[in-house]
Structure 1
Amino acid sequence: MNENENLVIPTVDEVITAKGLKIETSRYIIEQTIDYCMEYMAGNFKPIRRYTDSMIVDAINTLIKEIHNTAMVKGWWDDERNNGELIALMHSELSEGLETLRTNVMSDKIPDFVGIEEELADVVIRVFDMAGDRQYKLAEAILAKMEYNKTRPIKHGKKF
């Protein structure tokens, strides 16, 4: 298999229609795509990173804001909520996900997805909602933790 086969380069349409991206970010993607094409045509292939950290942070923060705003509009934040309650609700979504794996069911709310996909989405939605209310720097923390995990030993010295 050619190492270049899995490299995905966004089209101009994908860049222009991407929701939540700043103009500077869109310009950066277009410039990188053009540079890549010029290098490729010249025979000087060099892989490029499709997304920058700031683009990932922007995308996650956009989701956090949208998810939290929806929860507020739907009344979930009319009263103060404590951390224990919020974390317990995240756990309940994981338990529902486990049950969908045991029963092998499709989602009854979003029919194009299996149950576990819906429940994992619910977990992420609850995490992002809490992060939005508490103003946690979740996007940045995810990237920092991913980098840290690259430095850890295999299985972090544990059996599972």
Structure 2
Amino acid sequence: DALHGTDVFGTSLVLAKAVEKAGFDLVVCGMASTDGSMGVLPALLAERLGVPQVTLLSEVSVGGGVVRGRRDGDAASEQLEAQLPAVVSVTDQSGEARYPSFKGIMAAKKKPVESWDLEDLGVEAGEVGLEGAWSRVEEAAARPARTAGTIVTDEGEGGRQVAEFLAGQKFI
């Protein structure tokens, strides 16, 4: 409940404290979330942890104390690397998901799950949640219903009618 309304800055704080407490060599993040779609959490997390970040990777490999990856852009691909410990984010092109077997699922159910609250992580309640959010949504309204469009039946004048409509809307 104390995290309700937390923005990406508060989320990065809580995750960084949890990762530090658990210990890590490599933190793997997705490229965006379904809540804010900001894509900045890996960078904020790396900054809070004081480790390098390598983001938007479509391929990842780890070996010899280094994480390596390929970032694909519109015009070129880059080969990147960073010393561990590090934070990486991967794109949806980074590989197919591996699904656990039934045996793996049953074994996972027997594993203990440790839960930490803000106090366990050393986070003050005022640093997160709505109170600690650096940004907030002041107002939200549902989109208005779509109105019916204009149907142009082409009987020789369709092109002119479309052009007049576009010009009237100041699209051309």
TM over 0.5: no
Q: Which has the higher contact order (CA 8 A, sep 6+)?
A: 2
Bigger helix fraction = 1
Rg bigger for which structure?
A: 2
Place the TM-score, normalised by the shorter chain, in its bin: under 0.3
Give the TM-score taking structure 1 as reference length.
Answer: 0.24
Give the TM-score taking structure 2 as reference length.
Answer: 0.23
